[in-house]
């Protein structure tokens, strides 16, 4: 079982920088992001149209390149989570969290006994095709895999202490867009959105859990970093292409 670079950084109190991969289907994106210096990326299977085969290819390349691959799963049910982990993900981000019970269920799906209920799968992508001693592998996998709770609802923020009290939760990551809609506004700059993000950050600090957010606004992300966020998710694959391309066209014309 390889070391989880992202988890190591966060456990040491460091700051980790990643991005979201939403549309790119070539596994080469994992290697390119590693070369660029990103610590991790989150592959979006909630909104992205990825097959499990593509997910597996992405995970293999990421593991070889030394960048931590996390997958945002489409739902909290066991088949979505366990098959993603078996495909080689080093962790999952669970969207639309609202209750402590949901988080407890997610942890059980990610972790092997005695912590969880994940079915054993060895000598495949998740073990880099190496033979392993099951007892050693289960303990190592439980230590290295991650559960990131995506906080993007009013209910989650208002119950953040209980949600982040679940053993096995490694980090909380804000989803500002859905949070704004949950709060009754579609304005990301609305003071209520910032208030609820701050409530989550404060709750995470009380629990000793790293917190972060996802945005394409660099100044906004730096501001939250300066307030204590450690999990920084900047932009997304095509966002870089669009912004870089638009800047080049403007310069050349």
Residue (of 102, 118, 120, 26) closest to 65 by Cα position: 26
Answer yes or no: are the C-beta atoms of 34 and 53 closer than 8 Å: no
> pLDDT for 1-12, tens place per residue?
789 999 999 999
What is the CATH architecture assignment of 5-252?
Alpha-Beta Barrel (3.20)
Q: Where are the domains of the chain?
A: 5-252
pLDDT for res 187:
86
Report residue 135's pLDDT band, with 50, 70 and 90 as the boundaries.
confident
Looking only at the bridges linking them, the beta strands covering 146-151 and 171-174 are parallel
pLDDT for res 133:
84
Check whether 137 has a pLDDT greater than 80: yes
Give start and end residues of each alpha helix (H) in 70-153.
78-86, 100-110, 134-144
Among 75-79, 123-127, 140-144, which stretch is predicted with the lowest mean pLDDT? 123-127
Host H or E run for residue 41: strand 40-44
Question: Model pTM?
Answer: 0.95
For residue 190, indicate whether it is catalytic.
no
Break the chain down into helix, strand, coil percent, rounded to 5: 50, 15, 35
CA distance 80 to 240: 28
> pLDDT for 204-253, tens place per residue?
999 999 999 999 999 999 999 999 999 999 999 999 999 999 999 999 99
């Amino acid at each position: 079982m390889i070391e989880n670079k992202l988890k190591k950084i966060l456990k040491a109190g460091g700051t980790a920088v990643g991005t979201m991969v939403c549309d790119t289907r070539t596994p080469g994106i994992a290697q390119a992001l590693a070369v660029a210096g990103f610590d991790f990326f989150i592959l979006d299977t909630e909104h992205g149209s990825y097959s499990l085969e593509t997910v597996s290819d992405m995970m293999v390349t990421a593991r070889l390149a030394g960048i931590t691959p996390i997958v945002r799963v489409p739902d909290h049910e066991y088949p979505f989570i366990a098959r993603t982990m078996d495909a080689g993900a080093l962790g999952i981000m669970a969207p639309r969290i609202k209750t402590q019970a949901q988080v407890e269920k997610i942890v059980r799906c990610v972790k092997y006994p005695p912590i969880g209920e994940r079915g054993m799968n060895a000598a495949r992508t998740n073990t880099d095709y190496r033979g392993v001693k099951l007892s050693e592998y289960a303990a190592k996998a439980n230590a290295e895999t991650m559960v990131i709770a995506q906080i993007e609802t009013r209910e989650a923020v208002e119950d953040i202490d209980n949600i982040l009290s679940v053993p096995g939760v490694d980090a909380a990551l804000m989803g500002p867009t859905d949070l704004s809609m949950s709060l009754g506004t579609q304005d990301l700059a609305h003071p209520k959105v910032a208030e609820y993000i701050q409530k989550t950050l404060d709750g995470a600090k009380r629990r000793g859990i790293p917190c972060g957010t996802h945005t394409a606004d660099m100044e906004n992300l730096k501001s939250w970093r300066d307030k204590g966020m450690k999990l920084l998710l900047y932009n997304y694959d095509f966002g870089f292409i669009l912004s870089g391309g638009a800047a080049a066209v403007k310069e050349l014309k």
